[in-house]
Amino acid sequence: MVLTSAGGLFISIEGPDGSGKTTQARMLQEKLEKRGRRVLLTREPGGTSIGEEVRGILLNPLFCEMTVPCEIFLYGAARAQLVSQVIRPSLEKGTIVISDRFIDSSIAYQGYAGGEDPEMIHTLNLWATAGLLPGKTFLLDLPVEKGLERLQSKPGEYAGGDRIERKNEHFHRRVRAGFLQLAKQDPQRIFLVNAEKPPEKVHEQIWGQVRDLL
């Protein structure tokens, strides 16, 4: 059974590398808090002590031998822990949860770009989250070169980019196409955002939708 938002409001921000997810997640958090809402902002992979350790394994450029199935399970493991330990309890308390990436990233990166079956990744992850999906997902879309260009001026956790950022441009194009395919399949949940605009304009597109959900 798919349980959208577990009775609360669960929002995910998705998109390719450098599309502005973290920037927009923070702007949305700030806007909601200014309006007196309790908000939890979390990120994937990570968001728990276990998840942050797994993040270190996943993104470390030294582990270039990692297989796609290994990635699928590590992302899924971190996600299972995050949902059970943080996201679900927060939603049950009425807190609005914003997640910087969620299941759609696994389907886009390891499925459409990585070559594993998108349906299988979807099923496996719904098991990991005990059926939890976001009520609304914002897909930040922009040309691949623009996202990668933005990252060059951002001080990241790893000099020269993390293990995923270092993949070739062809891979990142498949990620973008995969996200767009997901948005086409689930237009009710996934809202496509033009992420080429300045941060404030991107935020306006997101806020227009979130306001209606409150």
Ligand X SMILES: Nc1ncnc2c1ncn2[C@@H]1O[C@H](COP(=O)(O)OP(=O)(O)OP(=O)(O)O)[C@@H](O)[C@H]1O
Torsion, Cα of 206, 171, 41, 189 (10° steps): 50
**Residue 111 contact among Mg ion, ligand X, none, beta carbon within 5 to 8 Å by kind:** none
Partnered with residue 12 across adjacent β-strands are: 99, 137
**Residue 18 contact among Mg ion, ligand X, none, beta carbon within 5 to 8 Å by kind:** ligand X
Nearest distance from residue 132's CB to Mg ion, in Å?
A: 22
Residues 201 and 207: their CA atoms lie apart, in Å, by: 10
Within 4-23, which residues bind Mg ion (CB under 5 A)?
21-22
Within 125-154, which residues bind ligand X (CB under 6 A)?
150-151, 153-154
For position 20 contacting ligand X by CB under 6 A, the verdict is yes
Residues 151 and 76: their CA atoms lie apart, in Å, by: 25
Report in angstroms the alpha-carbon separations of 148 from 155, 173, 192.
13, 11, 19
**Residue 198 contact among Mg ion, ligand X, none, beta carbon within 5 to 8 Å by kind:** ligand X
Please identify which residue in 18, 76, 111, 135 interacts with ligand X, judged by CB under 6 A.
18
Nearest distance from residue 175's CB to ligand X, in Å?
A: 10
Report in angstroms the alpha-carbon separations of 169 from 54, 146, 154, 211, 213.
25, 11, 18, 36, 36
Please identify which residue in 4, 22, 85, 181 interacts with ligand X, judged by CB under 6 A.
22
Residue 50: which H helix or E strand, with range?
helix 49-59
Nearest distance from residue 21's CB to Mg ion, in Å?
A: 5
Nearest CB to Mg ion, comparing residues 21 and 203 = 21
Nearest distance from residue 126's CB to ligand X, in Å?
A: 24
The 180-209 site mask, x for binding ligand X (CB under 6 A), equals: ------------------xx--x-------
Contacts of residues 194-203 at CB distance under 8 Å and 24 or more positions apart, as own/partner, are: 194/141, 194/142, 195/15, 195/19, 195/20, 195/140, 195/141, 195/142, 196/142, 196/143, 196/146, 199/20, 199/23, 199/24, 199/27, 202/20, 202/23, 202/24, 202/140, 203/24, 203/27, 203/28, 203/31
Given the rule CB under 6 A, which of 12-20, 79-87, 110-118, 182-190 is the region that contacts ligand X?
Answer: 12-20
**Residue 135 contact among Mg ion, ligand X, none, beta carbon within 5 to 8 Å by kind:** none
For position 29 contacting Mg ion by CB under 5 A, the verdict is no
What residues line the site for ligand X (CB under 6 A)? 15, 17-23, 150-151, 153-154, 198-199, 202
